[in-house]
Structure 1
Amino acid sequence: MSASPVLDMVTTTANAHPEATAVVQGERSLTYRELAAAVPRFAEALAATGAPPGAHVLLALDNRPEFAVAYFATAEAGCTVEAIDPDQPEEVLRRRLAESRPAVVVTATGNLVAALAGCPVLTVDDAMDGPLTQPPAAPRRRPARADGPWVTALSSGSTGEAKRIVRDQAHQVAEAGNITATASITADDVLLCPVPLFHALGQFCCLLAAVRSGATLVLPDRSAGASSVDAVVHALARHPVTLLIAVPQLFDALADLPADTPVELGAVRLCLSGSNFLDAAVARRFEARFGLPVRQTYGSTEAGSVCWDVGAEPSPARSAHRCGAPGSRWSARAALRCHRV
């Protein structure tokens, strides 16, 4: 065992399911063996670029298999990590860079953030060049600060001004264990993640849950210019998806597709909506068309997932006022704040 619960999770899953597909997008995929082998190589590239243990790394990446490698490589390198939307307007990217003050920015070739960074930039194209099974050039280093801060995420700001939230490795691994236990996610599952991995829902409920369980993570492929909905429909047709974790807008869009558009949901056992309120009318229309209830999850960037509606029957009426019950490893306490009038 290492000093890093995150690396232990990756290694344990890779040892148990080495040839299983960890992440796939279009024609590109990584097995768990390849993922575990690529992580230390990417960590070396981070160190060589200017990210020593304790440094902060900014991931400006869209959904792609390399996101998983870079994300876990920060734990290998003993760094902290923050993921952002790489396609934000220039003024927003400048603000996020100023707030984050990264030692290294990780992005894809040609992304605007590379020109704005003001610090060393590592492109995933360079870092992933070469055979994935090639061993690292030097022995693996013991990660620094493994029980300290690891992931920084920006809250949605739905209850006020957005806040920067810091979570440690143990928190992330524990949440992944809670999710997989609550939703009974196993290595036989295929998770479709149309949610950005830089978002807490995609990062925590999709990527970490898949790696914790050994499930396959499917990322819709939009490289040919397909819309987000078309990419999801194509992924459903290509992969035996068992869990669809998405935002309410996607379920709304799927329910609104023309009646002659085939949407393959035959293997899906759980549709989970998160990140925003699910309108009961959307849930009813989706179920009427596809025969599948849309369950809800509730949580926060600070605490992670709190409630998942995964019981034998959906929460009554699936209204915005009901979001399931605390997961199998969670406990919840309600607090009432009184205001003097």
Structure 2
Amino acid sequence: MNLPLKLAEQSKLFPKKEALIYDDQRLTYGELDASIKKLADGLGKIGILPGDRVLLALENCPEFVISYYAILSAHGIAVPVNPQYTLNELSVIMANALPKTVITTGQLVPLFKSIANEVPIDKGIINVGPTEHTGALPFEKVLDSGSPDYTPGRPARDQIAVLMYTAGSTGSPKGAMLTHYNLYSNATAFAQCCRMIPADRSLLIAPAYHAAAQTCVMNSTLVSGATMFIHEGWNGPGQLLESLQKDKITFYFGPPTMYALLVEHPEIEKYDLTSWRYALTGAAPTPPELFKRFEEKLGFRLMEGYGLTETSPVTTLMPLGGTGKTGSIGLPIPGVEVRIVDYEDREVPVNQIGEIIVRGPNVMRGYYNRPEETNWAMRNGWFHTGDLAYVDSDGYLFIVDRKKDLIIRGGLNIYPKEIEEVLYSHPSVFDAAVIGVPDPIMGEEVLAFVLLREGSNVTPEEIREFCSNKLARYKIPKHIRFVENLPKTTSGKLLKKELQKMI
């Protein structure tokens, strides 16, 4: 079984049941499955072959869902990316993935045409939306060229389905190769843990181009035969509350930032939220106070989970009806093994800190075109997360620290080295160091320490403007501090712990 086949099965069970609702657009399971098959056939007609990469640069919309499932049906490899990425960021991914086509909006077509001068897009750009562009294929035309009677073959379990790019500790994006079985097993295990049923109504606000939203909202909803309401993105807690009430949402996933803003809304008590039964957070550390405030305001517990792009992503969850342990990331989901080990991969005793390693059907095949990094991350048959944690006597896991240097802002991962390299390229900057600093809303914000060249005079605003053409907006440092020196060892290694003391 795989995701498209499971959706086709649901379309036979519930052909008239609503699968997706986006503004005034409503698609039943029968209509969604037909659109997926038509687009899969249409992609084949423009020359997409099994194993070809198809890059998806879209915000949340029905076309994202249709495209994602159609690519998998055609035995292609979906490459979802953040459409807010800059030319520089997209070019790096494009050069590694070498997609045969790109599905994106009219607004981004010129950007991808520019990239195509360096990285050929053999089968062209597919344009979603009403704006026409010379040389771009209209999405509807590709869709309508296909047949709803298209019959996909059954891919092998270990066949690559999705290439998810995640920045490594070097700041260079790596493509995690997720198989059809990785995705299907993770979605079904997650849905089982959350007790999702066809009567559920989920809300997709978290970006679908991230692994967490794909599994925890999109895929788990559709394998369960439930209904998914789609918002293009986050527009504040007011919009969330309106949708929870009006659409009678039962299931919602979002990073801690969204919940922090929600519980602070001055009129939260005015909304009827009695349909809401399951609230899940993850992707960033959740302050203990937020769990307390959520339960006080909503009357039920906020659940937390843990995972990584490389694990499809869900690895652990707080069990429904289980022991409430604030600060815990829960227990391993069914079929997944988790150990806490020392530097020699020896399992450590209860309550002792070590590295989280994972084994199971959710673990990626490896990093695309990165055999050495794959072998290191997957040594001894286990995926090494780089995250530190301990397990208590009941088997519950507690995260102690995230991957070295990682900044998590509003659920989005930011690696300092990537920002530092951009800062280094400014003609007035001699040296730079980037760290995360606590923020009550975003969880963390980016702070850059900048050492200017002698005689240079530049303002923080000018630094940010320089970064705006090279980094996605959420990566641009909110705080910039000019310093006369940066703490380093005699070998030149930066002492980031000393930087924390300078805050």
TM-score, normalization by structure 2: 0.60
2:70 match: 73
Deviations 1:127-185 (A, max 9, x none): 336998x9708753536666411111123658986532101101111111101111111
Q: Show the 5 A alignment for 1:3-82.
A: 5-82=2-79
Aligned-residue offset at 1:95: 2.2
1:140 match: 151
**Pair member with larger Rg:** 2
Q: Show the 5 A alignment for 1:1-341.
A: 5-112=2-109, 113-118=111-116, 119=121, 120-125=124-129, 126-128=138-140, 136=147, 139-142=150-153, 147-155=158-166, 157=168, 163-221=174-232, 227-259=235-267, 262-303=270-311, 304-313=313-322, 315-316=324-325, 318-319=326-327, 322-337=328-343
Amino acid at match of 1:128: E
Deviations 1:184-224 (A, max 9, x none): 111111111211000011111111101110111111256xx
Contact 1:61/1:108, CA 8 A, preserved across alignment: yes
CA distance in 1, matches of 2:322, 2:149: 53
Larger RCO (alpha carbons 8 Å, 6+ apart): 1
Q: Percent identity?
A: 22
Aligned-residue offset at 1:109: 2.3
CA distance in 1, matches of 2:296, 2:194: 23
Count matched residues: 329
Amino acid at match of 1:255: V
SS in 1 for 2:107: coil
Amino acid at match of 2:102: V
SS in 2 for 1:15: helix
Contact 2:238/2:265, CA 8 A, preserved across alignment: no
Distance of aligned partners of 1:74 and 1:214 in 2 relative to their CA distance in 1, 3 Å threshold: same
Distance of aligned partners of 1:59 and 1:135 in 2 relative to their CA distance in 1, 3 Å threshold: closer
Q: Which moved more, 1:104-113 or 1:270-279?
A: 104-113
Distance of aligned partners of 1:82 and 1:268 in 2 relative to their CA distance in 1, 3 Å threshold: same
Contact 2:37/2:148, CA 8 A, preserved across alignment: no
CA distance in 2, matches of 1:138, 1:290: 46
SS in 2 for 1:88: coil
Aligned-residue offset at 1:45: 2.5
Aligned-residue offset at 1:123: 2.1
SS in 2 for 1:177: helix
Deviations 1:49-71 (A, max 9, x none): 34222211000010001111100
Deviations 1:76-109 (A, max 9, x none): 2111111011122222222222222100001122
Amino acid at match of 1:171: N
Distance of aligned partners of 1:219 and 1:139 in 2 relative to their CA distance in 1, 3 Å threshold: closer
CA distance in 1, matches of 2:306, 2:139: 36
Contact 1:53/1:144, CA 8 A, preserved across alignment: no
Amino acid at match of 1:154: Y
Contact 1:242/1:269, CA 8 A, preserved across alignment: yes
Contact 1:45/1:127, CA 8 A, preserved across alignment: no
Q: Which moved more, 1:15-24 or 1:61-70?
A: 15-24
CA distance in 1, matches of 2:94, 2:48: 16
Contact 1:153/1:165, CA 8 A, preserved across alignment: yes
Contact 1:78/1:145, CA 8 A, preserved across alignment: no
2:412 match: none
Please tell me the root mean square deviation across aligned C-alpha atoms, in Å.
2.7
Distance of aligned partners of 1:25 and 1:251 in 2 relative to their CA distance in 1, 3 Å threshold: same
Distance of aligned partners of 1:161 and 1:277 in 2 relative to their CA distance in 1, 3 Å threshold: farther
Contact 2:250/2:275, CA 8 A, preserved across alignment: yes
Amino acid at match of 1:28: Q
CA distance in 1, matches of 2:231, 2:273: 15
CA distance in 2, matches of 1:252, 1:210: 25
CA distance in 2, matches of 1:129, 1:103: 18
Q: Which runs of 5+ in 2 are unaligned?
A: 130-137, 346-503
